[in-house]
Amino acid sequence: MVAATAGAPARVGGRTWLVIGGASAGTVFEWYDFYLYGSLAGFISEQFFSGVNATTGYIFALLAFAAGFAVRPFGALVFGRLGDLWGRKNTFLVTMVLMGLSTFAVGLLPSYAKIGVAAPIALILMRLIQGLALGGEYGGAATYVAEHAPEGKRGLYTSWIQITATFGLFLSLVVILLVRGRIGEDAFKAWGWRVPFLVSAALLAVSMWIRLRLNESPVFQKMVAEGKASKKPLAESFGQWSNLKLVILALAGLTAGQAVVWYTGQFYSLFFLEKILKVDGALTNSLVAIALLLGTPFFVVFGWLSDKIGRKPVILAGCLLAAATYFPIFKAITVAANPDLAAATSHAPVTVVADPADCAFQFDPVGKQVFASSCDLAKSALAGAGVSYANQAAPAGAVAVVRIGGAVVPSFRGELLPAAQLKTQKAAWTKSLGASLKSAGYPAKADPAKLNRPLVVGLLWLLVLYVTMVYGPVAAALVEMFPARIRYTSMSLPYHIGNGWFGGFLPTTAFAMVAATGNIYYGLWYPVTVAALTAVIGFFFVKEMRGAPIEA
């Protein structure tokens, strides 16, 4: 444990902006590192999961992305405990170094083509280290800033920490766009995707220099000087029902809903545009980056507002608005971003008529299974074309058919065909299906000339606005729920279970739901349900703690 000076410094003074800037700069860097992976999931899928089919590879890439989120609660336990024992500043210095080195290493990893299965294993290992580090970062930065904030401005001050996640994503998108524009798409696909990861070394050096200039939190110093620091923060946080109950309520009534709103607005929207609506990747990144830039100031606005009216009203209103409007917003995005797809879906809806027993869940972890039934061939071709479809049961044993408006395209049975013949016939059939889809007006890709940029940015901005409502005040809300002696540990776990599990698995879960049902909007049921439940639980069971003393 680090000894503290008896005379703890005042929380407010000339170093206030250094405190906010230092904590925020390091957190921006860590989020930049973490979200590079999500922004480059398509390239990473090709580089590290090329040994499996395309759909499985993309799901694997999303799972590897989610792996970093899966271990965040464990990072919260490890580093939260250290933060309550060892100090806020010392702990988030360690987490930053771990994050920076593991991210830099991703830029150096050989591809699957060079070292085989060792490539994805090494990638996932780096993701796990990143997740552990991030699990310890947020609680430390939020606690550190809150313990420096003056009375009545805790929401405003900690909202600057909340900006860092969005700004980190924004920074990652800008770096990617600059590199892509500088070297071209072919070079970026071959090797340029590594550059943003390697740039993290410079960001690490700058962030470390800033944070080393910071002092320890005055609340922690005072607590140590008075001998009130916890000796067993894990046992006190989760072994005593009075505090464990608060941890559960913080998760169910605040962070779970906040997390799904955050990841829907800033990540699933990115996947939806690029993977489902087939908008060009560089254009997608540009549109999302603009929306993030326009929406980011509202983190501070809603943090400030929570100082005036309370944390709960702002956070729960954001959850309710998201749950009520996600479906119409995403349908409007489809019309604005790919109007040809929206028109074709409306006047020539696609239906797969097949024996349910003939249809498999097409996820192949080892890349060895062949999905060759008539239903699987039809659905995989439609998924590859980004076409939404409905399912209709056919009599047992019937060969699947694809109905495109009034046209009918029969599939074929490929289970008993030799591999070479199956490949040839599948290619010919997919080409025939593509011609039928084209005749019905379905585009192979979104036409940039027809994309309504102002409307798409406006809709994306609305999604980001919901993010700022739920995320801007949440740090202050969590800090105020728990006593200082176990604050780092107690607030970190519900935050990272919510954001690591409920939020981090959202892109993977939603994409799998879309792939399984054929409905491009079906994945939205996941965030809508979680956000609605959080609003109800938070309203009835979470106590408003605005202005509560945090020294105790």
pLDDT of residue 8: 40
| Residues 6+ positions from 34 with CB-CB distance below 8 Å | 68, 99, 103, 130, 131, 134, 168
Q: How far apart are CA 148 and CA 317, in angstroms?
A: 28
Burial 340-350 (b: 16+ CB within 10 A, else e): ebbebbeebeb
pLDDT of residue 4: 37
Question: In Å, what is the CA distance from 47 to each residue of 41, 44, 127, 190, 515?
Answer: 10, 5, 15, 9, 22
- The model carries a pTM of 0.81
pLDDT of residue 52: 59
* DSSP letters spanning 43-102: HHHHHH-TTS-HHHHHHHHHHHHHHHHHTHHHHHHHHHHHHHHH-HHHHHHHHHHHHHHH
Residues belonging to the chain = 552
Q: How far apart are CA 486 and CA 404, in angstroms?
A: 60
Q: What angle do CA 417, 421, 424 make, to 5 degrees?
A: 135
Give me 312's structure tokens.
Answer: 């709960």
What proportion of the chain, given as a percentage, has pLDDT over 70?
Answer: 90
pLDDT of residue 10: 42
Question: In Å, what is the CA distance from 512 to each residue of 55, 118, 405?
Answer: 10, 25, 26
Which of 462, 527, 143 is CA-nearest to residue 298?
Answer: 462
Domains and CATH numbers, the chain: 16-338+448-541 (1.20.1250.20), 343-439 (3.40.30)
In this structure, the number of other CB atoms found within 10 A of the CB of residue 223 comes to 23
Q: How far apart are CA 488 and CA 494, in angstroms?
A: 11
> Residue 30: which H helix or E strand, with range?
helix 16-39
Task: Estimate to the nearest angstrom the gap between the alpha carbon of 430 and the chain centroid.
Answer: 33
Burial 489-502 (b: 16+ CB within 10 A, else e): bbbbbbbbbbbbbb
Dihedral sign from CA coordinates of 336, 290, 20, 499: positive
Q: What is the pLDDT of residues 521-551, one digit of tens each?
A: 999 999 999 999 999 999 999 998 887 777 6
pLDDT of residue 70: 79
Does residue 142 contact residue 492 with C-beta atoms inside 8 Å? Answer: no
pLDDT of residue 509: 81
In this structure, the number of other CB atoms found within 10 A of the CB of residue 13 comes to 11
Q: What is the pLDDT of residues 439-472, one digit of tens each?
A: 999 998 899 999 999 999 999 999 999 999 999 9
| Residues 6+ positions from 458 with CB-CB distance below 8 Å | none
Q: Report strand pairing: 389-393 vs 350-354.
A: parallel
DSSP state of 394: -
Q: What is the pLDDT of residues 248-281, one digit of tens each?
A: 999 999 999 999 999 899 888 988 998 889 899 8
In the block, tokens 């806020």 appear at: 88
Give me 294's structure tokens.
Answer: 């326009």
Which of 363, 354, 362 is CA-nearest to residue 391?
Answer: 354
> Which residue positions in the chain have pLDDT lower than 70?
1-16, 26, 30, 33-34, 38, 50-63, 65-66, 87, 229, 362-370, 551-552
